[in-house]
Chain A
Amino acid sequence: MSTPILELRKVDKSFGPIDVLHEISLKVHAGEVLCLLGDNGAGKSTLIKTLAGVHKPTRGEILLDGQPMAFDRPKDAQARGIATVHQFGGTFPLMSIGRSFFAGVEPTKGWGPFKVYDRKKANAIAVKAVQDFGITRIDDGDRLVGGLSGGERQSLAIARAVHFGARVLILDEPTAALGVKQAAHVLRIVNQAKRRGLAVIFITHQVMHAMAVGDHFAVLIRGAIAADFRKGEKTREQIADLMAGGESMADLEANIEGYMDSHDGHPPPPAR
C-alpha cells in the first residue's frame, strides 16, 4: 500500500503528571476517511490538537508523507496542508461569507498604499468554492456567516480548507450539534472531500455518522486505541459496545428498562 499522508507512531501525550494519550499509532491515506470514535473525555480532542500543532507529543513520532515532522505551532501544520475545522470555530459569525473565507489572505486590487479589498472577487471565489461542494443555496457572498445554518457553516469551513490546499482535513465533531438533515449535509461534504483525494480524520461519538462515511475506524478509550478496524469488519452494535468500554449497550438498555419497570416508568437519575 502507498505511504500514508499522515502517520502516528506510538505517540504519548501527558500534561504534567496527567497522561492523556498512550502509544497511539494510526495511519491516514489520501482519499480515505478515518473515523475516530470515543466517549467524552477519551482524548479525541487532545489527539487532533497534537496533529494540528497545538500540542507537542510527549513521546513518539508524527510522520508526514513518511518524513518525521515536528510542528511548533498550528500555523506550521497548516502550512503543510493539515487543516482543522472545529465544531463552530474558524468562521466569524458577524463577517460576510467573502470576508471570512479570505480572512488573513484577502484579495486586493489597486496599487501602492491604495490597495483595496476586492469584495467582488472574494465573494465570487468563496461562493464558487462552496457551490462546488453542492451547496447551491449559498449564492450571495455578502451574507453574514452567522445567518447560515450549522451545516452550511461547516460546509463553508471545509470548502475554505480545501480551497487553501488542505491535504489532511481534521473535523472535530462536525455533526454533534446538527439536526438529522444538516448532519446528512455535512456527511455528503465529507464524502466529496474524500473523493477529491483528501485524507479526512472525522471525530464523532455518533456511530451512525461514522458508519456513513468511514473507511477505517479507531476507537479511543481512556487515551488508548481500543480497536482499529476497517469498514465492514464490525457491526453497529459491536462498535457501540466498544465505545461504551466493553460494557454491552444491550445490557445497559436492559438495565434502564428494568429500572423503569420497577420505578413507575421513571428513568434512572443521571450518573454523576
Chain B
Amino acid sequence: MSQSFSIGGLLRRPEAGAFLGLVAVLIFFGIFGGVAFLKPAGMSSWLNVAANLGIIAIPVGLLMIAGELDISVGAMVPFGAMTTAIIAGHWDQSIWLAIVVTLSFALVIGLVNGLLVIRTAVPSLIVTLGTLFAVQGIVLGMTVLIAKSTSVALKTEGPAKAIFGDFIPVVFKGQLQSIVVWWLLAAAAYVFFVHFSRRGNWIFAMGGDKVSARNAGIPTERMTMLLFVLSATSAAFVGMCQAIQFNSAQVAGGQSFIFNSIISVVIGGVLLTGGFGSVVGIFFGTITFAVVNQGIYYTDFDRNWSALIIGVLLLIAVLLNNTFRKMALTHAPKKK
C-alpha cells in the first residue's frame, strides 16, 4: 500500500511531538527574542549546542529504544577531553595518536558497560551509574597524578584542528564549530542504520520484548554491546572535539550531558520504557532543547527561566507523544 500524505499520518510518527515542539519554541523565541536568534550568529549558537549534545543524544536514545539507559556519558565527555589533552598537550605527542588512544579507551569502557549489563541482572541505570563515578574518579585521579592540575592545555594545528575543533570558515559568518558537520553526518548515518538497515528493526524488537527478540534469533547481546560502545565513544568524541576546539580540558563539567541528552531524547518522542522512537525525533528534540537553552539569551528574560521552560516543554512533549502514540496504536485504515 502507498503511504499517502496526510496530517494524521504525520502525527502518528514518533517524531511528530518533537517537530511541533520545535515549531513552538521557534515561534516563542521569534516573538520574545526577535529575529536575532534566527540570524547566523544566533543560529550558530544553538546549532553548536545541538551538535555537541546531539552526537551523544542519538546513541543514548537508541539505547533507550532498546530498553537500556546510559548515564556514564556524563563522565565520558571529560574523559575524552582529558585523555586527548594529556597525550597531545601535557606529553606533547601527536594529536592523531591522542585521538586514536582516546577513542580506543572509550571503546573499552563501552564494552565494559555492555558486558556488565548483559552478564549481570543489574539494570543498566545502576551499571552506568557505577561506571559514571568510576570514570570520574579515574579522570580526576590520573589527571592530578600526571599533570598535577585539574585543567590541562593543548594546542592543535593543521588538519586535525580543522576537522575536529575549529570554526567552519565562510558559512554562518565563521561561527559554526566543525562538530556540527560531524553531527549532521552522524545523524544521517544513524537514520540509515536505524530505519533502513535490518539491524534497526532489532533495536526496536529488543526494546519491545527482549526475550521474544532473542527467541526470534536476534543477537540481542551483541547489539547491546554495540549500542553501549557507540554511546561511550560518541561522548568521548565530543569531549575530544571540545578540547581541540577550546585548547584546554577540565576534569569536571560533563554531568549536564546526562540530563540534557535524556531530555532531548524524550522530547524527541522516544518511549522511556523502550520499543518506540526515531532518529529524526531525537534530532528535532535536540534542536528544540538547544533553542530553549540559547534562545533565552536573546530575550529580556532572566537566564534562570530557561530551566522552567525546559521543564514545562518536557512535560508537554511527553503528553503529546503519549497522545500521538495512542493514535498510532489505534489507527486502522478506513475500509475501502
Residues of A participating in the B interface, judged by any CB pair closer than 8 Å: 74-75, 78, 89-95, 99-100, 102-106, 108, 115-117, 123, 139-144, 146-147
**Could you tell me if A95 and B328 are in contact, using CB atoms closer than 8 angstroms?**
no
Distance from A119 Cβ to chain B, minimum over Cβ atoms (Å): 9
Kindly list chain B residues whose C-beta atoms are within 8 Å of the C-beta of A141. 1
Bound together, the chains give a CA A73 to CA B213 distance in angstroms of 14
Residues of A contacting B33 in the complex (Cβ-Cβ under 8 angstroms): none
A104 close to B204 (CB less than 8 A): no
- A104–B331 contact, CB under 8 A? no
* Inter-subunit contact A116/B197 (CB<8 Å): yes
CA distance A153 to B302 in the complex (A): 53
Question: Shortest distance in angstroms between B189's beta carbon and chain A's nearest beta carbon?
Answer: 11
Contact partners of B275 in chain A: CB under 8 A: 92-95
Please tell me if B5 contacts chain A, counting CB pairs below 8 Å.
no
- CB <8 Å contact, A92 and B331: no
Taking the closest CB of chain A, its distance from the CB of B167, in whole angstroms, is 33
Q: What's the minimum C-beta distance from A243 to chain B, rounded to whole angstroms?
A: 29
- Asked if A104 and B213 sit within 8 Å, CB to CB, the answer is yes
- Would A92 and B215 count as touching, CB distance under 8 A? no
The yes or no answer to B198 lying at the interface (CB within 8 A) is: yes
Residue B332 CB within 8 A of the other chain: yes
Residues of B301-336 at the interface with A, using a CB-CB cut-off of 8 Å, are 325, 328-333
Contacts of A143 in B (CB 8 A): 331-333
A74 to B211, CA, bound (A): 10
In the assembled complex, which residues on chain B have CB atoms less than 8 Å from the CB atom of A75? 215, 217
Q: Whole-angstrom distance between the alpha carbons of A229 and B329 in the complex?
A: 43
CB <8 Å contact, A93 and B196: no
15 more A-B contacts (CB under 8 A) besides A92-B204, A144-B331, A147-B331? A74-B215, A75-B215, A92-B208, A94-B271, A99-B201, A102-B201, A103-B212, A103-B213, A104-B213, A104-B217, A108-B198, A123-B1, A139-B333, A140-B1, A143-B331
Complex CA distance for A147 and B201, rounded to whole angstroms: 19
Would A117 and B204 be within 8 Å (CB), given that A89-B209, A147-B329 are in contact? no
Asked if A103 meets B1 with Cβ closer than 8 Å, knowing A117-B196, A144-B329, A146-B329, the reply is: no
- Whether, in the assembled complex, B205 has its beta carbon less than 8 Å from a beta carbon of chain A, the answer is yes
Q: Which residues of B are interface residues toward A (Cβ below 8 A)?
A: 1, 3, 196-198, 200-202, 204-205, 208-209, 211-213, 215-218, 271, 275-276, 325, 328-333
Q: How far is the CA of A108 from the CA of B197 in the complex (A)?
A: 8
Pair B3/A142 contact, Cβ less than 8 Å = yes
Question: Contact partner of A94 among B196, B202, B208, B211, CB < 8 A?
Answer: B208
| SS of B interface (majority) | helix
Known: A100-B205, A104-B218, A142-B1. Is A147-B332 also a contact (CB below 8 A)?
yes
B209 neighbours in A (Cβ, 8 Å): 89-92
Query: Do the beta carbons of B208 and A95 come within 8 Å of each other?
Result: yes
Using A103-B205, A142-B3, A146-B329 as known contacts, say yes or no to A92 and B200 having CB atoms under 8 A apart.
Answer: no
B325 — which chain A residues lie within 8 A by C-beta? 94
B332 cross-chain contacts in A, Cβ below 8 A: 140, 143, 147
- Whether the pair A117, B329 counts as a contact (CB closer than 8 A) is no
A-B CB contact pairs (8 Å), 14 listed? A89-B212, A94-B204, A94-B325, A95-B204, A100-B205, A103-B216, A103-B218, A104-B218, A105-B216, A117-B200, A143-B332, A146-B329, A147-B330, A147-B332
Shortest CB distance B275–A (Å): 5
Chain A interface SS verdict (over half): loop
Residues of B near A78 (CB, < 8 A) are 215, 217
Q: Are A115 and B204 in contact (CB under 8 A)?
A: no
- Given the complex of chains A and B, what is the CA–CA distance between A117 and B196 in angstroms? 6
Whether the pair B331, A99 counts as a contact (CB closer than 8 A) is: no
- B residues in contact with A108, CB < 8 Å: 198
CA distance A100 to B205 in the complex (A): 7
Query: What separation, in Å, do the CA atoms of A89 and B205 have in the docked complex?
Result: 12
| A106 partner, pick from B1, B3, B198, B330, beta carbons under 8 A | B198
| Whole-angstrom CA separation of A102 from B215 in the bound complex | 12
Q: Which residue of A lies closest to B216 (CB)?
A: A104
Give Cα distance in the complex from A91 to B276, angstroms.
Answer: 14
Tell me the smallest distance from the CB of B209 to a CB of chain A, in Å. 6
**Chain B residues within 8 Å of A95, by CB:** 201, 204-205, 208, 275
Shortest C-beta distance, A144 to chain B (Å), equals 5
In the bound complex, residues from chain A placing their C-beta under 8 Å from that of B211 are 89
Q: Which residue of B lies closest to A83 (CB)?
A: B215
Q: Provide the residues of chain A in CB contact with B1, threshold 8 Å.
A: 123, 140-142
Chain A residues with CB under 8 A of B329: 93-94, 144, 146-147
- Give, as a whole number of angstroms, the nearest-CB distance from A230 to chain B: 33
Residues in B with CB closer than 8 Å to A147 are: 328-332
Contact A93 B331 (CB under 8 A): no
Query: A116: which of B196, B204, B216, B331 is its contact (CB, 8 Å)?
Result: B196
User: Which residues from chain B contact A123 at a C-beta distance below 8 Å?
Assistant: 1
> How long is the Cα–Cα vector from A94 to B206 in the complex, in angstroms?
11
| With contact pairs A143-B333, A147-B330 given, residues A92 and B198 touching in the complex (Cβ less than 8 Å) | no
- B14: nearest chain-A partner, CB-CB: A94
B208 surroundings in chain A (CB, below 8 A): 92-95, 100
Q: A141 to B212, alpha carbons, bound, how many Å?
A: 20
Q: Are B217 and A105 in contact (CB under 8 A)?
A: yes
Chain A residues within an 8 Å CB radius of B201: 95, 99, 102-103, 106, 117
Across-interface contacts of B3 in A (CB, < 8 A)? 142
B211: nearest chain-A partner, CB-CB: A89
Shortest CB-to-CB span from A195 to chain B, Å, is 26
A73 to B274, CA, bound (A): 26
For B202, give its contact among A89, A91, A104, A142 (CB under 8 Å).
Answer: A104
